[in-house]
Amino acid sequence: MNIDMQTYLIYLLVMAGVTLFLRAVPFILLRKKLKSVFWSSFLAYVPYTVLSAMTVPAIFFATDSRLTGAGALLAAVVASLFGGGLVTVAAVSCLTVLGVDGLMLL
Amino acid sequence: MSYLKGLKDGSPIGLGYFAVSFSFGIAGSKIFSWPLVTLISMTNLTSAGQFAGLQIMADAAGTFIEMALATFFINLRYSLMAISLSQKVSPDFGTVKRLLLATGITDEIFAVAMSQKRVTPIYFLGLSTLPYIGWSLGTLVGAICGEILPAMVTNALGVALYGMFVAIVVPQMKVHGPTVFAVVIAVALSCAFKFFPPLSGVSVGFAIIICALVASFFAAWLFPMQNVNADDEVAK
């Protein structure tokens, strides 16, 4: 653990507090729908852009070698292009890492 | 509209969450002990938001402001869902109940709730129960496995969360061309923040915020989604 307990708790409080605020305040106060096409589109794109920015290039550094990370990404993309669900795709990428690691041990 | 119907409708979400949060637990175990990782899941119930949060906590250059901003932008879509949901709930869904049950507003629970005619507090509580348990328990099991499994196995399991992210993004790219555009910009920027010297000094959290905001902004500007509303924009 690279941060102390107090720092962890403040981080946790900030993260949980902001998240609850975003969910509870509009749920309690707002009754109107968002009319702006631009802002609804913007928010609709956010999950995909966040997830892709977090995945690439981080996945290359998630394992001990760049090669296994790249293999895992490639395998995950191919598996989901073929219609694999969340768990299938995750399993395929994990197995790819194990397989490539295993090959390198030989 | 009973608690039991909610439990039943929520059970597949709970199973799915167990798998995703197991991967989160594995990822978290590299930074924190298992009780601390589990506490993050129990107080947040978000996937992308928590993972970004974990990265900010792990980053020596991370700050509280950065945590607040990253959480805000990544989870802003829940506000949109909360607004839509507030129009579907039954009249007995009072302020206190809304405050207590708001944590259940996730992409998947929201999608199921919106498919109901009317959402009562007891049904929404039932619907959120198993996903909450699945999410917390999955994190707990993942974090403990991360501590006890051999390095080669956790090394492999470490990519599971990324695999799931790919499994969320790629199907949308397949059916919606502009999402490909948005993802390409986000990935290009994200690589620039990692590899391009003047930008690589920017901390992880801010890099994610900037990538996501710039890519979403241009995509929404050039390719607005005509019939998008909070009912069908969710990433299922």
Q: Nearest by CB to B212, which of A50, A86, A97?
A: A50
Lowest mean pLDDT: which of A8-12, A83-87, B200-204? B200-204
Q: Are the C-beta atoms of B213 and B205 separated by less than 8 Å?
A: no
pLDDT, residue B89, reads 87
Q: Which residues pair with B119 in a beta bridge?
A: B89
**How far does the CA of residue A67 sit from the closest CA of chain B (Å)?**
13
Is A31 near chain B, with CB under 8 Å? yes
Lowest mean pLDDT: which of A9-23, A89-103, B27-41, B119-133? A89-103
Q: Please spell the DSSP secondary structure of B47-98, one letter per residue.
A: SHHHHHHHHHHH-TT--HHHHHHHHHHHHTHHHHHHHHHHTTB-TT--HHHH
Q: Taking CB atoms and an 8 Å cutoff, what residues of chain B touch A55?
A: 162, 165-166, 169
H helix runs in chain B, sequence order: 3-29, 34-44, 48-58, 64-75, 77-86, 95-101, 107-114, 121-148, 151-157, 160-175, 177-195, 197-200, 204-222
- Residue B95: other Cβ atoms inside 10 A: 11
* pLDDT tens figures, A44-69: 888 889 889 989 998 998 888 889 99
Q: Nearest by CB to B57, which of A11, A85, A86?
A: A11
If you measure CA to CA, which chain A residue comes closest to B87? A31
- How far is the CA of B90 from the CAs of B81, B87, B118, in angstroms? 16, 9, 6
pLDDT, residue B158, reads 82
* pLDDT tens figures, A27-37: 998 766 667 88
* pLDDT tens figures, B183-232: 999 999 999 999 998 888 887 878 888 998 999 999 999 999 875 544 44
What integer is the mean pLDDT of A73-96?
Answer: 92
- pLDDT surpasses 80 at A2: no
| Of B161, B128, B126, residue with least CA distance to B142 | B161
- Kindly determine whether residue B233 and residue A43, on different chains, have CB atoms separated by under 8 Å: yes
- Kindly determine whether residue A94 and residue B157, on different chains, have CB atoms separated by under 8 Å: yes
Is A18 near chain B, with CB under 8 Å? yes
CA-CA distance, B10 to B95, in Å (whole number)?
23
Low-confidence ranges of chain B (pLDDT < 50): 229-236
CA-CA distance, B4 to A66, in Å (whole number)?
48
Is A100 near chain B, with CB under 8 Å? no
pLDDT, residue B234, reads 43
pLDDT, residue B108, reads 84
ipTM of the complex: 0.87
- pLDDT surpasses 70 at A88: yes
- How far is the CA of B134 from the CAs of A25, A71, B19, B175, in angstroms? 26, 29, 8, 30
Within 13 Å, how many C-alpha atoms sit on residue B17's CB side? 27
